[in-house]
Structure 1
Amino acid sequence: MELEKYRKWVLKNRGRYYYHGLPSNPTLLARSPDPTWNPPIDNYEPGFYSPSPVDKYLSPLGRHPITEKWNNDDGSASLRSHVLQNLKGVNWTSVDILRCGHQHEEDLPAILFVSVEPGSTTPEEAQQLADRCAATLINHGLTDVSCEVKESHVVPLSTLQPLATVVDTNQSWKASYNLTDLVGATIAGSEQQEKQGTKGPYLRVKTVENGITTSSVCALTCRHVLSSSAQGTEHYGSNKIWQGCEPVVQPEIHHPTKLDYLTKRQARKVQDHCDDPAAEERTFASSNARSTVDSMAFGHLTRARQGSSGRATDWALIRLDADKHERPLDTIKNHVSIGFGIDNGYNHGYEAEQYCFVANTFFPPQDGIHNLRGILPVANIQAPESEDPTRESAICLGKIGHGSGLTFGLANQALSILRRPVSSTKDGGDLGEEDDSIHLSVCVMGKAGGYGIRPSTRSFGIGGDSGACAWDLNGRVAGMVAGMVTAGSMWDLEDRWTNVTYVTPMEWILEDMRECGLEASLCE
């Protein structure tokens, strides 16, 4: 196809190609202001490679006057309130303020992104919405920020994993990881093991009931990972917190396809005298022995919370069972495996391009174990300290999740607003919520690129990563992975790639627990 003909085709199908390069490639509906769009076209070797629009990528907002105006909501006259008023009557899903542009651009423009449910808004309605939001920005003195309306879902990051699925042997590292007490293992409720998420950080939790103080060690995860368990739990107190007792498991490799693979791998290593065959044999035997709920269980759901509007507080606590752990519970720490010498899979993100942009500022421990200590304040994410930021003036976060393993991303300075319509969620109605939940979250975007490499947006989290602990390069716990923005089918989580991932700040979670009568702190 001739280059000029291809350009005309792209311009004719602007909505389809406008975000070319973003992982989920959402559809643009409208933008305001709306100058003539003339995208750069890659045409390296005519006749050999087909032309394509130069990829776009996302970047954190960085230092911009809108950050303080947006984050510091001072009531009905605030910028955030005025934008929300513009969204009344619209089936919107999220509002993010990010930078976005083509790969050859460095000074990316700031954009107010409004995501709407696919098929819910016509281009004409979207244009009216974009114009209203652009006028609001101007009224608040923000003349260099535009508004774009696009089609995207916001969905939780738990995933349905059929138990009979043939497993990718490149992901066999999860088998041995799930035999440990490391943060980031795969978890599921015992009654719905195919719905899987990630085990978050360990907390010491104190409760006072009837004048009696009890203390326990718990693992944190998202409530929606264990939604089937939470539905049958008992209402507790005036806050929306539930109690339960269902076992929570770290699903294991007792499926035949996995066992067959490990058997063959073990035979090869014995024959080649590589690595440690004895250790491999012990791992294989331990995995093979865990074929019942009791053998896979590491704790029981003790409390679950579904937050209302304001802040995202979708969390659940899993009380650890002492007899399921080799080490005493009072010695458990928040450790993640990230460095060299770790089995294939743990550190695939470390050596990938996604890590290049922070490779000069972070060096993993020699034993490959990153020790998590302390809480990263939300204020530090919004205004990073001078020693923390990357060149984008944003804090770099890492995480290990069931879905995507080890990934790194940049936390946006401006908070995101998420809308959770009760009528469209699978697990919202059982909580007795009367209104749609509108809450805040921190937006994180994965990124690749280094010296001589074009920057691009990667997925920080995908299906299966719900509950994963996000941490900064100093080992401070930033929060818990909860959801994502995607253009895909709302509940089809297989092979889903995301533009941004939402993280609930740990600071907010601990504050919410205190409001519910729980005193929690990190296991350090």
Structure 2
Amino acid sequence: MTEPPAVPPSRKESRGYYSGLPDSPDLVARSTTTPWKGPVYESDVYQRILDPVGKHAVVSLWNESTGPVRHKILEAVGDIGWNAIDILRCGSADPDERHFVRPVILFVSVEPGSTTWLKGRAVALKCRDTLREHGINDVEVEIKVSRITPCCSNDQDQTESEPPTAKLSPHIPTLQEENYRRDSIQLSEFLGTKIASSRHPSREGTKGLYLKVRNTETVVALTCRHVVFGPEEENMDFCHNTHTSRGVIQPGNKTYQDTVESLRREISRENFAIDVYESLTPVPEKGLEDARSCKAKAESSLQRHEPFESMESRIIGHVLFSPKLGLSSSSPTRFRDWTLIELDQKKYQTPLAKLENAFPSGYGTFSVNVMTWGGLYQERKRRLCLPLGIPIFPQSGVLSEAEMRCPDHEFEVLGKTVVDEDLMRVAMYGSTSGLSHGVANTARSVIRRFVEGVPMISEE
């Protein structure tokens, strides 16, 4: 059957083709010429969804970093401003089609405004030809607009003041004490809090795992290098000494100031509500009681934040070591972007040697299906603790790949089509995103970054 002639996507197709995906990227070009069947009316719902590839012949060919398929596709995209190549299943998010296996697509992401339809179409066909030459006849290629952005907030100029005494807490206020607040975690010892370099106090990122340096008593926290070193700084290895000390604060200035301002606004609103209720006849006792309760909880939270007002009071440690950004020496296909933060015992209520890698599962809502590993791997101390308020997950030990690839039909990823029962379950906790969970993709992603003007290609 002859394919229809290739034509550039219309403005509606370009902007609506990936509706439903994060940030709804624009379509540049695709290898197929099948007419797009988007929404006919404004009220029509059209959304797409991504799935992991699972078992497919393309996976082993693509994952071979020095193999001919990877080599030829990287060669094909060399003339466009690409930043990522991903192989995923993609299709309709319609619940009526949830049992269908979505087709596998090779996605090439390009910088905004860098690639025309004509050039993108030519690259898509070259990539598809490479796949066909190696017996992959059911994978198409699509070029879309995306931008790789480090997960840290923008920096702003800030000032410092004198430090009072303040320590991070091993606890989070309960519902009865302060309501559920995303900001409650920021003054705690838990993972997933927002941290920043004292040199760039509003460029915030996430505090990762607590680790102990082998054969020492030193306890460190893991984070990404781009959180504590800005793109304007020289890319070189960093080792702590008295002349190059770089402090790390928790939370960053922006988070702290936004939280305090939000609490003050809430107190002001509740004061106004209390005045209104007290002026009414008869006085609505239930409404008045609720307003007073909300005000008291906000005041309690604000009082907890006051000792951390100065930036120096929030310094939890300093950068111990951070290798320069680049490809890993032990795994050349991997990009290296990490930093170790040596922690200061004076800023922690818990002895550093007894810190747990724990994170709250959520605020206000929680599904027991989010993570059921606690019951499966008790010998590794993965236990589920449910104190009053927020479910907490302490984690210790190393989870092997074999354990992660455990079929569990009670584990559900809503809206997803599980193609392979031998799936790998993964979870992530970010300071902004909170807890998310899903299934690992079998096909590796290839990323191109520029470090000081030099392109570096790695896989993830």
Category of TM-score, reference length = shorter chain: 0.7 to 0.9
1:395 is aligned to 2:424: yes
- Amino acid in structure 2 at the alignment position of 1:260: R
Task: Tell me the percent identity.
Answer: 31
Look up the match of 1:216.
Answer: 218
Question: Is 1:176 aligned with 2:210?
Answer: no
1:90 to 70, 77, 80: 80
The separation in 2 between residues aligned to 1:421 and 1:273, in whole angstroms, is: 53
Task: Give the Cα–Cα distance (whole angstroms) in 2 for the partners of residues 195 and 39 of structure 1.
Answer: 42
- What is the alpha-carbon distance in structure 1 between the residues aligned to residue 459 and residue 134 of structure 2? 21
Aligned residues of 1:189 and 1:229 also touching (Cα < 8 A)? no
Alignment partner, residue 249 of structure 1: 249
Query: Aligned runs of 1:316-335 on 2, under 5 Å?
Result: 316-335=339-358
* Alpha-carbon contact 1:203-1:217 (below 8 Å) kept: yes
Number of aligned positions between the proteins:
384
Partner AA of 1:398 in structure 2 = A
- Read off the aligned partner of 1:185 and give its amino acid letter: T
Alpha-carbon offset, residue 178 of structure 1: 1.4
Using the alignment, how far apart are the partners of 1:247 and 1:414 within structure 2?
Answer: 38
Q: Render the CA deviation track for 1:335-368: whole Å, top value 9, x for unaligned.
A: 01116xxxxxx355x36xxx9xx56967864231
Contact 1:15 1:28 (8 Å CA) reproduced: yes
- Counting only pairs closer than 5 Å after superposition, residues 62-77 of structure 1 correspond to structure 2 as 62-73=54-65, 75=66, 77=67
Q: Match of 1:81, SS?
A: helix
Partner residue in 2 for 1:123: 117
The answer to whether the aligner puts 1:145 opposite 2:168 as a matched pair is no
Alpha-carbon separation, structure 2, partners of 1:307 and 1:78: 24
* 3-state SS of 1:154 partner: coil
Query: In the TM superposition, what whole-angstrom CA distance separates every residue of 1:256-276 from its partner, at most 9, and x where no partner exists?
Result: 523414645898899549989
* Pairwise CA distance, 1:279: 8.1
RMSD (Å) for aligned C-alpha atoms:
3.6
- Per-residue CA shift, 1:196-217, capped at 9, x if unaligned? 11111111123xxxxxx64411
Q: What letter corresponds to residue 386 of structure 2 in structure 1?
A: Q
Structure 2 residue aligned with 1:436:
455
| Match 1:290 to one of 274, 290, 308 | 308
Aligned to 2:34: 36
* Secondary structure of residue in 1 paired with 2:79: coil
Q: What are the residue-to-residue correspondences of 1:10-409 with 2, within 5 Å?
A: 13-32=12-31, 34-41=32-39, 50-52=42-44, 54-73=46-65, 75=66, 77-104=67-94, 105=97, 106-160=100-154, 173-206=181-214, 214-228=216-230, 231=233, 240=237, 242-243=239-240, 244-251=244-251, 253=256, 257-261=261-265, 263=267, 271-272=289-290, 283-305=301-323, 306-308=325-327, 310-338=333-361, 346-348=363-365, 350=366, 358=369, 365-367=385-387, 368-376=391-399, 384-387=405-408, 392=418, 393=420, 394-409=423-438
Q: Are the aligned partners of 2:263 and 2:299 in contact in 1 as well (CA < 8 Å)?
A: no
Q: Retained in 1: the 8 A contact 2:154–2:202?
A: yes
After superposition, the C-alpha distances for 1:275-325 in whole angstroms (9 at most, x for unaligned) are 899987664323111111221111111111223262022011111101110
User: C-alpha separation between the residues in 2 aligned to 1:126 and 1:380?
Assistant: 41
Structure 2 CA distance for partners of 1:190 and 1:263, relative to 1, 3 Å: farther
Q: How far does residue 36 in structure 1 lie from its aligned partner after superposition?
A: 1.8
Distance (Å, rounded) in 1 between the aligned partners of 2:458 and 2:50:
22
- How many angstroms does 1:79 deviate by? 1.9
Partner secondary structure for residue 153 of structure 1? coil
Cα distance 1:229–1:291, how it changes in 2: closer, same or farther (>3 A)? farther
Q: Distance in 2 between matches of 1:332 and 1:68?
A: 40
Per-residue Cα deviation, 1:216-267 (whole angstroms, up to 9, x for no partner):
111111111111499479x5xxxx4544521111126356523414645898
From the superposition, tell whether residues 417 and 287 of structure 1 become closer, same or farther in structure 2 (CA, over 3 Å).
Answer: same
Tell me the residue number matched to 2:164: none
Amino acid at match of 2:130: T
Amino acid in structure 2 at the alignment position of 1:247 = G
Query: Structure 2 CA distance, aligned partners of 1:377 and 1:360?
Result: 16
Cα distance between partner residues in 2 of 1:378 and 1:245: 38
Which amino acid is 1:58 matched to? L
Q: Secondary structure at the match of 1:408?
A: strand
Report if the CA contact (8 A) 2:197-2:228 is conserved: yes
TM-score by length of structure 1 reads: 0.65
SS of residue matched to 2:140: strand
Specify the SS of the correspondent of 2:149.
Answer: strand
TM-score by length of 2: 0.73
Distance 1:259 1:288, change over 3 A: farther
Secondary structure of the corresponding residue to residue 187 of structure 2: coil
Question: Is the 2:267–2:298 contact (alpha carbons within 8 Å) kept by the matching residues of 1?
Answer: no
Query: Matched residues in 2 for 1:193 and 1:300: separation?
Result: 13
Q: Distance in 1 between matches of 2:356 and 2:52?
A: 31
Given that residues 259 and 288 in structure 1 are in contact (C-alpha distance below 8 angstroms), is that contact kept between their aligned partners in structure 2? no
Gaps of 5+ in 2: 1-8, 159-177, 275-286, 375-383
Letter in 2 for 1:114: V
Residue of structure 2 in register with 1:510 after alignment: none
What residue number does 2:280 align with? none
Letter in structure 1 aligned against 2:396: R
| Alignment partners' CA distance in 2, 1:330 and 1:152 | 42
Q: SS at the partner of 1:155?
A: coil
Larger Rg: 2
Q: Structure 1 residues 131 and 281 mapped into 2: Cα distance closer, same or farther (>3 Å)?
A: same
CA distance in 2, matches of 1:376, 1:421: 33
Give the 3 Å change call, closer, same or farther, for CA 376–215 of structure 1 in structure 2: same
2:213 aligned counterpart, secondary structure = strand
- 1:401-448 per-residue CA deviation (whole Å, 9 max, x = no partner) reads 2222233333212110000023xxxxxx2xxxx73111111xxxxxxx
Return the offset for 1:326.
Answer: 0.6
CA contact (8 A) 1:174 1:185 kept: no
- Partner of 1:36: helix, strand, or coil? coil
User: Per the alignment, in what secondary structure is the counterpart of residue 20 of structure 1?
Assistant: coil
Compared CA separation, residues 377 and 122, structure 1 to 2 (3 A)? farther
Q: Secondary structure at the match of 2:211?
A: strand
User: Does the Cα contact within 8 Å between 2:16 and 2:38 map onto a contact in 1?
Assistant: no
| Deviation (angstroms), 1:387 | 3.7
* Structure with the higher strand share, 1 or 2: 1
* TM-superposed deviation, 1:158: 0.6
